[in-house]
Amino acid sequence: MKMFKILVCIKQVPMVSELPWDSKTGTLKRELAQGMMDPSSRRALEAGLQIKETRAELGEKTQIIVLSMGPPMAMEILYQAKSLGADKGILLSDRAMAGADTFLTSFILARFIKKEVPDVDLVLCGSQTSDSETGQVGPQLAEELSIPAIGYAADIQLQGQMVRVHRHVDDFFEVLEMDLPGLVTIDQAAYTPRYAAFGGVQDAFETADIIQVDARRLGLDENFNAVKDSPTRIVDVYSPTTRKENRVLKGTAKAVVDQLFEDYGKIISSAMGKDLKGQGEKI
């Protein structure tokens, strides 16, 4: 029977909440941050592991390959993935690839997959990583690989060479079917990740099937420079802030309610970038 191949894209993200950004380049000073496996990537890996376990119960074989791109310190998350049950790990790492935006990242990941794992059946990604939260790499990777994609999956069921995916959309469930090979991104609330057992960690380091791949092996042009070649320009990077304000409205009931609607309307208008004045009367 053919081995079913799942490739899970994982990323190392900084663990600290206060991120050390380089104000000049707008990129993260990764060497200063303690790394961890991105929580969303962990859910994608968990989905892969559960598919592997379900198939194993039926006597069917599955290989899980984890793929990451980043500095050499990102090797740690590949060992972690192996501790959890992945079979093989690849780190795409090269100074020339550092600073790639989501567009180039997808391009490089796709380059590796086409070259080294052309027979992949299912590609899994997190829906968005905790450090940049763009949610772009998964769908762009599917585009680069010319395979279909489904985003924000809450549950995946494998049916032969097809997947059935459940996902939450607003207040209802959507069930989608997709032929394989295909790519699925996993919802941030789905597939609660397991803890690695210490025996698994020991195994991961004893039977290291983890390799590092550089730009040359990927066949990238020797002048390739991710910082220069990335089309995205980061204008500004900031941590989101939330503000809570208590205000007591005084006056008659009518005046207070009118004031409340007017103030609320202003907030909604500014969030939507559209003047809502007069909209209420039309309804």
Partner 1 sequence: MEFNPCVKHQLIRKIAREFSENEIKPQVAELDRDARFPHDIIEKMKPLNFFGLQAPKHLGGAGLDSISYAIVVEEVSRVSAALGLCVTVHNSVGIYPILKFGTQEQIERFVPAMAAGDSIGAFCLTEANAGSDAGGVETTARKVQDGYVIDGTKIFVTNGGVAGTILVFAVTEDEKKSANVFIVEDDRPGFSVGEIEDLCGMRANPVSSLFFEDCRVPDENLLGKSGQGLKIGLTGLDTGRIGIAAQALGIAQAAFEDSVAYAKERQQFNQPISRFQTIQNYLADMATQIDAARLLVYRAADYKDRNLPFSAQASMAKLYCSDTARKVTDMAVQIHGGYGYSKEYDVERYFRDAKVTQIYEGTSEVQRMVIARNILTQPS
Chain residues binding partner 1 by CB under 8 A are 36, 75-76, 79-80, 83, 195-199, 201-203, 205
Choose among 70, 4, 3: nearest CA to 37. 70
Amino acid at 93: S
Residue 139 CA to residue 203 CA, distance in Å, equals 33
Cα-Cα-Cα-Cα torsion 69, 70, 71, 76, nearest 10 degrees, comes to -80
Is 79 or 112 the residue whose CB approaches partner 1 more closely? 79
Residue number with CB closer to partner 1 (83 or 106)? 83
**Quick one: 199 or 273, whose CB is closer to partner 1?**
199
Which CB sits closer to partner 1, 173 or 205? 205
- Given a contact cutoff of 8 angstroms between Cβ atoms, the answer to whether 114 and 105 are in contact is no
Q: CA 216, CA 96: separation in Å to the nearest integer?
A: 10
Q: Of 205 and 261, which has the nearer Cβ to partner 1?
A: 205
Minimum Å distance from CB 206 to partner 1? 8
Pull the structure tokens for residue 34: 């303690």
Q: Considering the complex, what minimum distance in angstroms separates the CB of residue 57 from partner 1? A: 18
Please write down the HEC assignment for all residues of 18-68.
Answer: CCCECCCCCCECHHHCCEEECHHHHHHHHHHHHHHHHHHHCCCCEEEEEEE
- Give 133's contacts (C-beta < 8 A, 6+ positions apart): none
Least distance CB 36 / partner 1 (angstroms): 7
Q: How far is the CB of 11 from partner 1 (least distance, A)?
A: 16
Shortest distance, CB of residue 201 to partner 1, whole angstroms?
A: 6
